[in-house]
Structure 1
Amino acid sequence: MNNMKFIGLALLCLFGVGVSAQEVIPLYSDYKIPFAKDGAEVPRLTVFRPAKDFSRGTAVIVCSGGSYGGRANSVEGGPACRKLAEAGITAFLLDYRVPRSEWMERKEVVPLTDAQRAIQYVRENAKVYGIDAGRLGIMGFSAGGHLVSTVGTHLSSTLLDNPKGTSLRPDFMVLVYPVISFSDSLTHEGSRMNLVGPEITADEIALYSNELQVTGQTPPTYLTSGMDDRIVDVRNSLYFAAALKQHQVPVELFLYEKGDHGYGVFNLKAKLQWIDDCIDWITKDRWKR
Structure 2
Amino acid sequence: MKKLLTLFVTITCFALISCAQTVFPLYTDSIPNSRQVPDEEHSDTDQRGIQRISNVSRPTLTIYLPPADKATGAAVIVIPGGGYRILAASHEGSDVAKRFNEMGVAAFVLKYRLPSDVTMINKEIGPVQDAQRAIQLVREKAREWGVDKNRVGIIGFSAGGHLASTAGTHFNHAYIDVGKKVNLRPDFMILIYPVISFADSITHMGSRENLLGKDPSAEKKMAYSNELQVNKKTPPTYLVHAENDSAVKVQNMLLFATALQKNKVPFDFYLYEKGGHGFGMNNPTSDVKWMDLVQEWMGKSGWLK
TM normalised by structure 2 equals 0.86
User: Which residue of the partner structure matches residue 12 of structure 1?
Assistant: none
The whole-number CA distance in structure 2 between the counterparts of 1:284 and 1:184 is 37
Alignment of 1:181-200 (within 5 A): 181-200=197-216
Matching of residues 127-206 of structure 1 within 5 Å: 127-163=143-179, 165-206=181-222
- Aligned position for 1:4: none
Unaligned runs of 5+ in 1: 1-17
Question: What per-residue deviation string (whole Å, max 9, x for no partner) do you get for residues 27-47 of structure 1?
Answer: 002x32101111252100000
Give the paired residue count: 270
Greater shift in the superposed pair: 156-165 or 97-106: 156-165
1:253: which partner in 2?
A: 269
Tell me, yes or no, if the aligned pair for 1:58 and 1:131 is still in contact at 8 Å: yes
Preserved contact between residue 238 and residue 294 of structure 2 (Cα < 8 Å): yes
- SS class of match (1:107): coil
Q: 1:108 aligns with which of 102, 119, 124?
A: 124
Q: Is 1:32 matched up with 2:37?
A: no
Partner letter of residue 157 of structure 1? H
Cα distance in 1, alignment partners of residues 201 and 303 from structure 2: 30
Q: Bigger shift: 185-194 or 274-283?
A: 274-283
The one-letter code matched in structure 2 to 1:22 is Q
1:147-203 Cα shifts (integer Å, max 9, x gaps) = 011111112222211136210000000000000000001100000000000120011
SS in 1 for 2:149: coil
Partner of 2:86: 70
In the alignment, structure 1 residue 236 sits paired with structure 2 residue 243: no
SS of residue matched to 1:91: strand
What is the CA–CA distance in structure 2 between the aligned matches of 1:271 and 1:279, rounded to whole Å? 16
Deviation at 1:254, TM superposition (A): 0.7
- Runs of 4 or more above 2 Å deviation: 283-288
- Alignment root-mean-square deviation, CA: 1.5
How many angstroms apart in 2 are the aligned matches of 1:61 and 1:52?
19
Match of 2:282 in 1: 266
Alignment pair present for 1:51 and 2:67: yes
Match of 2:4 in 1: none
Aligned equivalent of 2:21? 22
Q: Do structure 1's residue 225 and structure 2's residue 241 form an aligned pair?
A: yes
Task: Look up the SS of the partner of 2:110 in the other structure.
Answer: strand
Q: What is the CA–CA distance in structure 2 between the aligned matches of 1:262 and 1:159, rounded to whole Å?
A: 29
CA contact (8 A) 1:64 1:140 kept: yes
Match of 1:59, as an amino acid?
A
Shift of 1:286: 5.5
| In 1, Cα distance between equivalents of 2:194 and 2:20 | 29
Q: Could you list the per-position Cα deviations for residues 208-267 of structure 1 after superposition, in whole angstroms to 9, with x for gaps in the alignment?
A: 111111111110000000011000000100000000000000011111011100010111
Cα separation, 2, equivalents of 1:206 and 1:248 = 22
